[in-house]
Amino acid sequence: MENKSLIRKVLETDPAARYALNVIVNYPGVHAMFFYRINSFLWKRLHMKFLARFLSQLARLFTGIEIHPGATIGKRLFIDHGMGVVIGETTIIGDDCVLYQGVTLGGVGTGEHKVKRHPTLLNNVMVSAGAKIIGDVTIGNNSIVGAQTVVLADVPDNCTVVGVPAFIVKENGIRVNKEL
C-alpha cells in the first residue's frame, strides 16, 4: 500500500512522470524507498543490523542513494534525481517530503554516541539540490530549503531558507531577510 501511495505522489509531483510503470521501472528514488522499507524492518524489528547495513549499501550501489536503515521515514518521501542523497541514522522525515539530488541529512559526532545527531524534517518539506542539513535541527512543516543551502539551526514552519549559513527569505508567504 505504501508503494502505491508513493507512486501516486511521484505522478502528482513530477511533471516528467507520465504513468505508473515508468515510475516503477525508472525512478531510483522509488527503488531506494522500497529497499529502505525492507532494511528498516531488518534493523528495527529483527535487530539484524549487519544484514540491514549490508543490504542498504547494495541499494546505494544500485540507486546512488544512501539511506541508513535506522532512519525514520514517514509516508510518501519522494527522492527526485536522487544521486548522492545521504540520509543518516537518526534522521526523522515526516510525510510528503521531497528531496532532490545531492541532499545530505547529516550528523554531528562520531563513534558510539546514542543521541539524536541528524536532522528532523516535519511534514511537507522540500529540500533542493545540494542542500546540507547538519546536526539535530528541525525543519518546520511546509518549509523549503533552497539549493546549496547549509542549515545548522532550526527552521520554523512555513519558511523558505537559502544561503551559507541558511537565513530566512520567506515566512508565511511574506518576503523577509531574517537570521535563523
How confident is the model over 62-89, as pLDDT tens digits? 999 999 999 999 999 999 999 999 999 9
- pLDDT exceeds cutoff 90 at 91: yes
Please report which confidence band the pLDDT of residue 113 belongs to, taking 50, 70 and 90 as the band edges: low
Assign residue 96 the CATH number of its domain. Answer: 2.160.10.10
Please report which confidence band the pLDDT of residue 149 belongs to, taking 50, 70 and 90 as the band edges: very high
Number of domains in the chain: 1
Show the domain range for 126.
6-179
What phi, psi does 145 have (nearest 5°)? -110, 120
Q: Scanning the structure block, which residue is given the C-alpha cell 534525481?
A: 81
Residue 1 lies in a domain: no
- pLDDT exceeds cutoff 80 at 109: no
Residue 68 lies in a domain: yes
State which H helix or E strand residue 159 sits in: strand 159-162
Residue 101 lies in a domain: yes
